[in-house]
Amino acid sequence: MGKYNRRQFLGYTGAVLGTSLLLKACGDSKSTEKSTTDATTLKVAMVLPGIITDKAWNQAGYSGLEVIREKQDADTTYVERVGQAEQVEALSDFARRGYNLIYAHGGQFDAAIEQVAADFPETFFVGVNGAIAGENYASLRINSLQAGYVCGVIGALVTKSKQMAYISAQKFESTQQELKGFEMGAKSINPDIKVRSTFTGDWNDAAKAKEATLALISTGVDVIYQWLDNASPAVLQTASEKGVYAIGNTTDQLKLAPDAVLTSAVKRIDLAVAYLAQLQAKGELKGEVYTIGFDQPEILYLGEFGDKIPAEVKEKAMEIKQAIVEQTIKLT
């Protein structure tokens, strides 16, 4: 698998428009990019906002790329730490170099996808956690409303202060839906519960995450649901230090702060990403928003529960989750 880091990428952004950037593979001994000119080969690239070792969002996306490479014998590559200003060029470069399926790993890439897709009609783009669709681009979303709702129920059943909070980095469709679900779930248990929210502006800045967590705790919040990337451990560990509860996101994060984490909303983005690549290989990928919820329990589910969470809370959470699947609880 090929890898391009942010420094290498930025070093070539002055290239003439329309000419493929000659990014050098920055490889470790285990990472190689296949070279092939076979037009039928599935060539998949991924543009990531953070690092692939964050034990959260970016690592999950990269794992999906590995599944594609191993299961579909695809030519794969990726670039890490792509900021807002570099999104269009990163997507365009992979398209110019013949990658026929390009994932933009985060809802913050939606505008860039729409801008680039028109210039590369033979390339299919997928915005993971996006909210857009067109002739040659789609969005892949975990049902954040459902995930947030069940986590809101869990938080509401253990809070003592009746004050809960949601922390993320940016406001876009998926984070807003998750916040909405979190508040709906909490208020379904107790309408008097207050839910605050904070957006730090950075998925990976641990200092900002810790500062935001401390600020919320100082207002009386005793349950915090976070969706961050490399900064997520800062929230969970700060919650543990201050004796309040937290809820993990994307991966099972119980071990990061076992005294604080109630459970995690586990989102197997890797499997979802691989599924869409299978559709692409069969010529069945369409320009639509693909949304995956609790009805696909291998992709969206609750992680391990912490030892401090009462049995009746676990039972209630699973009951609510099943009601969502059976649509006796309908979320919109």
The reply to whether 208 and 243 lie within a common domain is yes
Average of pLDDT values for 220-244? Answer: 97
**Average pLDDT of the residues of the chain:** 90
Distance, C-alpha 158 to centroid of its chain: 26
The reply to whether 168 and 110 lie within a common domain is no
The alpha-helical segments, DSSP class H, found in the chain are 6-10, 57-72, 87-96, 110-117, 144-158, 173-189, 206-218, 232-242, 269-281, 311-325
pLDDT higher than threshold 90 for residue 20: no
How confident is the model over 309-328, as pLDDT tens digits? 999 999 999 999 999 999 99
Q: Place 5 in a pLDDT band, splitting at 50, 70 and 90.
A: low
The reply to whether 173 and 130 lie within a common domain is no
Residue 331, domain member (yes or no): no
Residue 44, domain member (yes or no): yes
Average of pLDDT values for 82-97? Answer: 97
H-run or E-run covering 226: strand 223-227
Residue 119, domain member (yes or no): yes
pLDDT higher than threshold 50 for residue 147: yes
Residue 65, domain member (yes or no): yes
The reply to whether 165 and 176 lie within a common domain is yes
The reply to whether 208 and 305 lie within a common domain is yes
Average of pLDDT values for 137-160? Answer: 98
Q: What is the number of structural domains in the chain?
A: 2
The reply to whether 188 and 284 lie within a common domain is no
Domain span holding position 235: 144-266+300-325
Supply the DSSP symbol for 192.
Answer: T
Residue 205, domain member (yes or no): yes
The reply to whether 242 and 170 lie within a common domain is yes
**So what's the pLDDT on residue 79?**
98
The reply to whether 247 and 138 lie within a common domain is no
**So what's the pLDDT on residue 86?**
97
The reply to whether 214 and 315 lie within a common domain is yes
Residue 161, domain member (yes or no): yes
d(CA 265, CA 38): 40
**So what's the pLDDT on residue 4?**
65
Residue 330, domain member (yes or no): no
Q: Which two tokens stand for residue 101?
A: 């399926």
The pTM assigned to this predicted structure is 0.82
The reply to whether 66 and 196 lie within a common domain is no
Residue 262, domain member (yes or no): yes
Q: Which two tokens stand for residue 205?
A: 């800045």
The reply to whether 108 and 185 lie within a common domain is no
The CATH number that applies at residue 226 is 3.40.50.2300
